[in-house]
Amino acid sequence: MIFLKVRGGEIAVVFATLLIALSIFLTTVPAVSARQISPLQGMELLRRSFSGLTDFTAEITQEKQISLLKKKIVVNGIVRFKKPDVFYMELFPPYPSRILLRDNALSLFLPAENVRNNIILSPGQSLRRWFAYLDGPATSLPDGVEVRAETRDNMTTLQITPRQKGAVKELRLTFLENGNLSRLVIEEENRDRTVLYFRSMRRNVGLTEKDFRLE
């Protein structure tokens, strides 16, 4: 069971890009009044957060609130990334699933059912395209999204809203000035809500092809 539903691949690409762009550790948000900053300031802080990163691996905990259910579904997993464009996510039992994204080629594997699906995303959803934007200083916002940004003590929160209606209604991520992420919240149009927490981040560990095998 894949909790992050893929409709045209858009969730997988946005999710992968946001994870890759940040050094990830679980943190606590202090109770201080938030101050608005410009969207470009927020995106520049995001860009700086992955400076010097060549690869990473991290553990994750995902809390999924399905709109038709009262109880949250909680599952653990891992994520891996290697520049320039390879991303892997695995969720562990009782809901095992794996996602492998190579640029704009997305593969989904459900080991319990032994089912595999392959999707070719549009060039505009390419992982290389997103990194091309994040490679240089933020002088304009990414195409197709609206961004709001605020700071709270040494924390920054970005609210990213796609202009075109799709599976994702809104993304909210909160991270420290040095790039450490507190959490990522994904609000979907069907009223489902996913909260992702990250821990045990390891940067530049020398990941190889064998670390990105789907089966």
**Mean pLDDT value of segment 16-20:** 50
Provide the number of structural domains found in the chain: 1
Element (H, E) at 17: helix 10-20
Domain assignment present for residue 182? The answer is yes
* Bridge partners of residue 110, in order along the sequence: 115
CATH of the domain at 96: 2.50.20.10
Domain assignment present for residue 116? The answer is yes
CA dist 192 and 12 (Å) reads 16
CA dist 185 and 187 (Å) reads 7
Higher pLDDT, 30 or 196: 196
Query: In this model, does residue 8 exceed pLDDT 70?
Result: no
What percentage of the chain exceeds 70 in pLDDT?
82
For residue 134, the model assigns a pLDDT of 75
Domain assignment present for residue 2? The answer is no
pLDDT one-digit tens code per residue, 57-74 = 889 999 999 888 888 899
Which residue range is the domain that position 147 belongs to? Answer: 10-201
Q: What is the DSSP letter of 28?
A: -
Domain assignment present for residue 169? The answer is yes
Amino acid at 10: E
pLDDT one-digit tens code per residue, 20-44 = 444 333 333 344 577 899 999 988 8
Domain assignment present for residue 5? The answer is no
Whose structure tokens read 């990213």? 160
Domain assignment present for residue 112? The answer is yes
Domain assignment present for residue 215? The answer is no
Question: Any idea what the Cα angle at residue 182 is, between residues 180 and 188, rounded to 5°?
Answer: 125
Domain assignment present for residue 49? The answer is yes
Query: What is the CB-side half-sphere exposure of residue 22 using CA atoms within 13 A?
Result: 32
